[in-house]
Amino acid sequence: MTYRIIGAILVIVTCSGVGFSIANVHKKEVDSLGQLLRAFDFMACELQFRMPDLPQLCHLTANQVSGSLRSLFRQLESELNQQVSADALCCMRAAISKTDKLSEITKQNLLLLGKTLGRFDLQGQLSGISSVIQLCQRDLDGLLNNQEVRLRSYRTLGICAGVALVILFI
């Protein structure tokens, strides 16, 4: 009998953990996109006023963000300095592949940025960054829409799934 109770508790805790984990991943995606927007704004301002070269721009941007985005921009700076490829998109792909814990939405927005960096004149780059900012903001707005309800639903679903499994097994 005690084994059943212990097993039931473990099933509920595990399923609840999955629900809370999904909610935590959602929060991290929101935080990552927020940092990415700040990074893109910073890059646009730096390009507009100081016009640094791309490796220096990535270095400056890395100092403005934290976590996996910081390591991504440092890796991108390294890729650009090594000049394995003259194309910023190829360097961005290489930097993304060497950086872990990036969400798919973040990767997509970074690849869009890689398509415009270093390819056009100043106005073209600023226009490209502006369009990526708009797309990133759209993604962020989609995640923030009813965020509290969605997070509560993930948590509740995890708990309810655990209780349902316990009921089925007993």
How does pLDDT run across 33-45, given as a tens digit for each residue?
999 999 999 999 9
What average pLDDT does the chain have?
Answer: 89
Is residue 83's pLDDT more than 80?
Answer: no
Q: How far apart are CA 65 and CA 21, in angstroms?
A: 24
Is there a contact between 96 and 107 (Cβ–Cβ < 8 Å)?
yes
**164 pLDDT more than 90:** yes
Residue 84: predicted pLDDT: 65
Q: How many residues does the chain have?
A: 170
Is the pLDDT reported for residue 118 higher than 80?
A: no
Could you tell me the pLDDT band of residue 86, with boundaries at 50, 70 and 90? low
Average pLDDT over every residue of 140-150 = 91
pLDDT score, position 89? 85
Residue 146: pLDDT over 70: yes
pTM above 0.85, yes or no: no
Q: What's the CA angle centered on 54, arms 52 and 55, to 5 degrees?
A: 100
Question: How confident is the model at residue 85, as a pLDDT?
Answer: 64
